Amino acid sequence: MFKLAEADKKWADEVWNRIDAKMRVVADRNKDIIPYTTGSDGRFIDCAKGEFPYDISWWTNGFWPGYMWLLYVGTGEAVYKEAAENAEDLLDAAFAEYDHLHHDVGFMWHISAGVNYRLTGNKKSRLRALYAADFLAARFNPEGDYVRSWNADSDTDGYHKLIIDSMMNIPMLYWAAEEHGDDRYKNMAIRHANTVMRTHLREDGTVHHIVEVDPKTGNAIMALGGQGYELGSTWARGQAWAIYGFTLSYIHTGDERYLMTAKKVANAFIACAAQSDWIVPLDFRQPEEPKIYDTTAAACAACGLIEIAKTCSEYDVKNYLNAALKLLRAMDEKAADYTTDNDNLLNYGTEAYYPGRGEAGRNTAIIYGDYYYTEAFYKLKGFEPLFW
């Protein structure tokens, strides 16, 4: 474990305290909802009562309870525990919408029910997390060696789409293997990680967002543009998913190939972020105008970089930790809102270069940006456990 410089430690403490002061108020007034973004009034919009696709089965619905658990571990404040547990109860309705579920059940239940069980021993939470893990395992294709990302309505000519985001969902399978004492779950996660490593990683250290694969072989058919600017561009959040996701697979398996992959993507991300003065755009190869940023990518990448730094020699620690700190300081100075006027913590999150919600999905509040920003400071404070 690295040791923060005194100035960095003081700053991290101050930011954590600002987050806590804001979120005690925000959590109390939102303890019966599951938010994704905010409305024009700065207040969270409830996905538990939303319309498809922004409804109870929306893929981000685990981030709010996970966010609350981070703050509960770091403060012991009961309001965070209450909000997390209430959101987890609301998520039960998503299990009934089977046709709308997807591989993102990892995002939805691993850091909500899974964390609740690990922190409190709640048996109902354990069953919820295991049910979600079994659902994820059922999506594993043994011929192609991957967990299917999207559902059949996204298939093209019989090919399946495999997305880089999936690397953040498979930690649920590593956990299920330990909880069940059944290595089949872990083997699925490993085989999936190997396939993604083979199909998504480019020579320059950047990654594709979406790759169509042959379900009979797992071989790549073609890459697609996805949520970035265009085919072959560098969608920043996709790079962040890869940095953190492969690092987590290394943590759970000890396989050095995953750490090497995470570092390769991290090195490319750091080089690009430095050129943009640590203000991360939605896509590192997008045009100069319009200005489209993505703090969700910066926050997630910072979490992955901190975990990489924990594995490194003193020289490499400085490389990865300093990059994480620069990303976080840039967000602290230019994107964070610590007032209680607005429910969101971070501004300037973006869903995609061409978002389905149009301008409403650009440079806006997104719950997983708030989650990862808070998780990064949770890590800097030295709190445990690792939620993933």
> Residue 285 annotated as binding?
no
Mean pLDDT of the 349-373 span: 91
The percentage of the chain sitting over the pLDDT mark of 70, rounded to a whole number, equals 99
Structure tokens at 141: 């294709």
Q: Give the rounded distance of the alpha carbon of 96 from its chain centre.
A: 24
H or E stretch at 253:
helix 236-253
Q: What is the structure's pLDDT at 357?
A: 72
Match domain 1-30+255-388 to its CATH number in 3.90.1170.50, 3.20.20.150, 1.50.10.10, 3.90.580.10.
1.50.10.10
Distance of alpha carbon 64 from alpha carbon 177, whole angstroms: 25
Distance of alpha carbon 243 from alpha carbon 256, whole angstroms: 14
> Residue 165 annotated as binding?
yes
Q: What is the structure's pLDDT at 174?
A: 99
Mean pLDDT of the 42-52 span: 92
Lowest average pLDDT, out of 5-9, 95-99, 127-131, goes to: 95-99
Q: Which residue is catalytic, options 165, 283, 332, 343?
A: 165
Distance of alpha carbon 51 from alpha carbon 279, whole angstroms: 33
∠ CA 252-88-58, rounded to 5°: 80
99 is catalytic: no
Q: What is the structure's pLDDT at 380?
A: 99
> Residue 104 annotated as binding?
yes
Q: What is the structure's pLDDT at 34?
A: 98
For residue 211, give every residue at least 6 positions away whose Cβ sits within 8 Å of its Cβ, in sequence order, or none: 161, 162, 163, 199, 200, 220, 221, 222, 223, 224
Q: Which residue is catalytic, options 55, 104, 283, 294?
A: 104
Q: What is the structure's pLDDT at 151?
A: 82
> Residue 237 annotated as binding?
yes
Q: What is the structure's pLDDT at 97?
A: 84
Has residue 358 got a pLDDT over 70? no
Mean pLDDT of the 168-181 span: 98
Q: What is the structure's pLDDT at 150?
A: 86
The percentage of the chain sitting over the pLDDT mark of 90, rounded to a whole number, equals 91
H or E stretch at 16:
helix 6-29
Largest separation between any pair of C-alpha atoms in the chain: 57
User: Contact, 125 vs 114, CB < 8 A?
Assistant: yes
Question: What three-state secondary structure class fits 258?
Answer: helix
Has residue 153 got a pLDDT over 90? no
Distance of alpha carbon 256 from alpha carbon 198, whole angstroms: 15
165 is catalytic: yes
Q: pTM score, two decimals?
A: 0.97
Distance of alpha carbon 280 from alpha carbon 296, whole angstroms: 9
Lowest average pLDDT, out of 99-103, 230-234, 273-277, goes to: 99-103
Distance of alpha carbon 59 from alpha carbon 62, whole angstroms: 8
Q: How confident is the model at residue 103 (pLDDT cuts 50, 70, 90)?
A: very high
